[in-house]
Structure 1
Amino acid sequence: MKITRIGGIAALAMVGALALSSCASNETPSGDESSASTLSGTFNGAGSSAQGSAQEAWIAAFQTANPDVTINYDPTGSGAGRATFIAGGSDWAGSDSALSDDELAGTFESCAADSKALDIPTYISPIAVIFNVDGVDELNLDSDTLAKIFKGDITNWNDPAIAALNDGVTFPDLAITAVHRSDDSGTTKNFTDYLGQTAPTVWDQKAADTFPFQSGEGAQGTTGVVDAVTNGSGTIGYADASKAGSLGTAAIKVGDEFVSYTPEAAAAVVADSPLADGRDANDLAFKLDRTTTDPSHYPLVLVSYSIVCQEYADPAKAEFVKAYIGYITSADGQSVAAESAGAAPLSDDLSAKVADAIASIK
């Protein structure tokens, strides 16, 4: 799937500022307005469907500034995207979960011999708990109740546990259809990680790209989950907040309050979380701490990465990746993602680390 649709006014408004050349990926233009991009060729990425809206806008702007470049991004899901990149079928991957230790221990076909891959934070976004229940416009859920719904322990909307969290709301005597991702999904890994950290006595499975229970209904990709919730009755699911549309979205309990998602509240969780242990200096995978009780935080958040080679076998691919990933993680690129997908911009501190990591790519 080649994404070429313009993803928002901002994507075009900043094109004049890009003027990207084959030099360092996130340097600003030299001031010579007549200079033209020297990048050329066709480059392929695959993976995160959560990044889909942002990728549309990023690609449109980058191709406008670099007219000899064609970018294809296939939003097949994080697991499929990582597998494609590892096998050498793409030049980078988008993934809502970082490479696992087992994946890092393997080989990467597009990378130079003995070179490993890096996880570069690209896109920070809340995960929305979306629902479609006739007569219910607002919904509060704590993590234990949410875990029981998706595990299949709570099966009807008039269950007393749901009613106790929603004073004054009348719920129908209606079966719950909990919709999860059927594909290997970084969004699922973040969702199950949240439940595992905040409702450990209920959610007794490790965080994983594959949904761990046989309950509910599976749907392919972010779009599939949103469609299933939209077209069903008594449905509930989880999806990147940029895709929630007009569906109801639940407030989740943080401390003593129920909190609705915002980009700022999601970014606050990332800012307070450490990087994962045991990684190379340029690998910026996070170990998210979702146990906050601060109601200014929204702990159901994903960090979506661009997975790239530390050193590419093909120098032309390295040149492109440094330029493109440098752009999408720049202030301009993050502004485009905020407008087109409601993403939270990278913090100044994280942006500096990302710039250093991208500069190290060979």
Structure 2
Amino acid sequence: MTNGQKLTTIKLGRAAAVAAIAALALTSCAANESGSGTSTDSASSSGATGTLVGIGASSQGSAQESWIAGFQTANPDATINYDPQGSGAGRESFISGAAAFAGSDSALSDDELAGTFGSCAPDTTAIDLPVYISPIAVIFNIEGVDELNLDSETLANIFNGSITSWDDEAIAALNPDATLPSTSITAVHRSDDSGTTKNFADYLNSTAPDAWGEEPSDTFPFSGGEGAQGTSGVVDAVTNGTGTIGYADASRAGDLGVAKIKVGDEFVGYTAEAAAAVVEGSPLVEGREDNDIAIKLDRQTTDPSHYPLVLVSYAIACQEYADADQGALAKAYLGYIASDEGQKVSAESAGSAPLSADLSAKVLAAIETIS
């Protein structure tokens, strides 16, 4: 069983609870010393009870583990289960009512919003809540190559199958100081429906539309390359292959090589700060309900302090739950993960970029309306 298929269920005993509280306290202290703001006591003040099931994005996996630990430590009568099956599976499970909330690297579509949701009260709808911001890393494993520069057109042609060898002249032109082997390229993509794929495709379609030529979707659009299940599957395939390249949430890049992408006239590596800068400068999607916070990312920025290959991962919840107890627990848990404390925990455990003050205020205000 891969990490992407693993059910994250954390139940803490008394000793583990004490250790987790200490760890969270240290996390908050370290974050405060860095000047990122003061933490809240939202986890400890909710008094939440019951069991809440979430299914969705594997990009959120590490963050969810930490959020669950923090929330359950402070609320020992609550159990949160999160199964990182992928964004598409998460939205499907939420729509059917198999999950009380979904994690998704893309917001609900207009068609999905026009439908019904199994856990929601009749004649009510769902809302998208951005809770996790992270760069997408272009990871690679090429013998003898430690650094790699790629522009969006070349990256698109690698993944659409037009460029098949690492010593291709387009790659060589971007890496004049590298010794590129004649090794065949194995481009690894997600085999499951994935919001990470949709964000990757949205970046390439926005910045290299002639080379990519496909509308962004959760399904990888080309038949070539190698498919792998979940974030962990892509990372494993790139790690264990030869001449491999893939895309994954940056928190999972590990020791693999990570390509720099061209932004304006410079090649830029990912940072949480550069990812947050793109989100901060991007508008909300128009035409949504007041509490539905979907972001239209600015992929075409030429500011080298921005990293446009970024994903915003959402918690998708009911505006009003059919079961009031589920609504109260969802409101408490989502309020914790969007809080200053929850965002610091995610930054520490998963390297994510905390929500900006303005975006955090919008998200927390929306969560307050959940019932």
Please, which of 123, 134, 141 is the counterpart of residue 125 of structure 1?
134
> What is the 5 A alignment of 1:69-80?
69-80=78-89
The amino acid of 2:117's aligned partner reads F
The amino acid of 2:129's aligned partner reads I
CA deviations over 1:160-195 (Å, ceiling 9, x no partner): 000000111011110000000000000000000000
Match in the other structure for 1:21: none
For 1:132 and 1:261, how far apart are their aligned partners in 2? 18
Match in the other structure for 2:221: 212
Give the drift of 1:154: 0.1
For 2:106 and 2:25, how far apart are their aligned partners in 1? 29
Match in the other structure for 1:82: 91
Q: How has the CA–CA distance of structure 1 residues 39 and 314 changed in structure 2, closer, same or farther, with 3 Å as cutoff? A: same
> What is the 5 A alignment of 1:215-226?
215-226=224-235
The amino acid of 2:9's aligned partner reads I
Match in the other structure for 2:267: 258
SS in structure 2 opposite 1:50?
Answer: helix
Is 2:199 the partner of 1:190?
A: yes
Is 2:336 the partner of 1:327?
A: yes
The amino acid of 1:2's aligned partner reads T
CA deviations over 1:46-78 (Å, ceiling 9, x no partner): 000000000000101111111111111000000
8 Å CA contact 2:27–2:345 kept in 1: the answer is no
For 1:180 and 1:3, how far apart are their aligned partners in 2? 28
Match in the other structure for 2:173: 164
Question: Would you tell me which structure has more helix in proportion to its own residues?
Answer: 2
Give the drift of 1:41: 1.5
Is 2:180 the partner of 1:180?
A: no
Please, which of 24, 30, 47 is the counterpart of residue 13 of structure 1?
24
Instruction: Calculate the TM-score normalised by the size of structure 1.
Output: 0.93
SS in structure 1 opposite 2:52?
Answer: strand
Match in the other structure for 2:35: none
Q: How has the CA–CA distance of structure 1 residues 11 and 152 changed in structure 2, closer, same or farther, with 3 Å as cutoff? A: farther
8 Å CA contact 1:77–1:221 kept in 2: the answer is yes
For 1:331 and 1:29, how far apart are their aligned partners in 2? 9
Please, which of 149, 155, 169 is the counterpart of residue 140 of structure 1?
149
User: What is the count of residue pairs matched by the alignment?
Assistant: 348
8 Å CA contact 2:205–2:212 kept in 1: the answer is yes
Is 2:208 the partner of 1:199?
A: yes
Match in the other structure for 1:338: 347
8 Å CA contact 1:14–1:332 kept in 2: the answer is no
Structure 1 segments unaligned to the other structure (5+ residues): 18-26
Instruction: Calculate the TM-score normalised by the size of structure 2.
Output: 0.91
Q: How has the CA–CA distance of structure 1 residues 299 and 29 changed in structure 2, closer, same or farther, with 3 Å as cutoff? A: closer
The amino acid of 2:10's aligned partner reads T
Is 2:239 the partner of 1:230?
A: yes
Q: How has the CA–CA distance of structure 1 residues 229 and 218 changed in structure 2, closer, same or farther, with 3 Å as cutoff? A: same
Give the drift of 1:14: 3.6
SS in structure 2 opposite 1:126?
Answer: strand
Match in the other structure for 1:243: 252
SS in structure 2 opposite 1:358?
Answer: helix
Match in the other structure for 1:104: 113
CA deviations over 1:276-312 (Å, ceiling 9, x no partner): 1111010000111100000000000000000000000
Match in the other structure for 1:20: none
The amino acid of 2:297's aligned partner reads L
Is 2:326 the partner of 1:317?
A: yes
Match in the other structure for 1:308: 317
Displacement over 6 Å in runs of 4+: 8-11
The amino acid of 2:244's aligned partner reads T
8 Å CA contact 2:20–2:69 kept in 1: the answer is no
Give the drift of 1:40: 1.7
Match in the other structure for 2:10: 4
For 2:303 and 2:293, how far apart are their aligned partners in 1? 25
8 Å CA contact 2:190–2:228 kept in 1: the answer is yes
Q: CA RMSD in A?
A: 2.0
For 2:207 and 2:235, how far apart are their aligned partners in 1? 24
For 1:294 and 1:356, how far apart are their aligned partners in 2? 31
SS in structure 1 opposite 2:8?
Answer: coil
Give the drift of 1:201: 1.1
Give the drift of 1:355: 1.1
8 Å CA contact 1:82–1:95 kept in 2: the answer is yes
The amino acid of 1:314's aligned partner reads D
